[in-house]
Amino acid sequence: MRDITHFNSYEAGLEAQVDKQVGCGTARKVEVGAPFHQAILRERTSSAFGIANILLAEDDLIVRNFLTAALTREGYRIIQACDGREAILLWHEYKPIDLIIADVNMPGLRGPLLAEAIWVEEFTPVLYISGLPPGDLVEQHIRNGHARFLAKPFQLGALRKSVQAFVEVPRSLKAAH
Of the ranges 25-29, 69-73, 108-112, 139-143, which one carries the lowest mean pLDDT score?
25-29
Whether 29 has a pLDDT exceeding 80, the answer reads no
**Please, are residues 54 and 99 in contact by the beta-carbon 8 Å criterion?**
yes
Of the ranges 18-27, 76-85, 86-95, 131-140, which one carries the lowest mean pLDDT score?
18-27
Whether 39 has a pLDDT exceeding 70, the answer reads no
Give me the residue spans of the domains in the chain: 28-176
Whether 43 has a pLDDT exceeding 60, the answer reads no
Domain covering 28-176, topology? Rossmann fold (3.40.50)
Q: DSSP for 103-170, please give it.
A: ESS-SSS-HHHHHHHHHTT----EEEEESS---HHHHHHHHTTSEEEEESS-BHHHHHHHHHHHHTS-
Query: pLDDT tens across 101-147, in order?
Result: 999 999 889 999 999 999 999 999 999 999 998 889 999 999 999 99
71: nearest Cα among 114, 16, 121, 122 = 16
77-81 and 126-130: which strand pairing?
A: unpaired
pLDDT of residue 31: 36
pLDDT of residue 20: 34
The percentage of residues in the chain with a pLDDT greater than 90, rounded to a whole number, is: 58
118: nearest Cα among 103, 100, 141 = 100
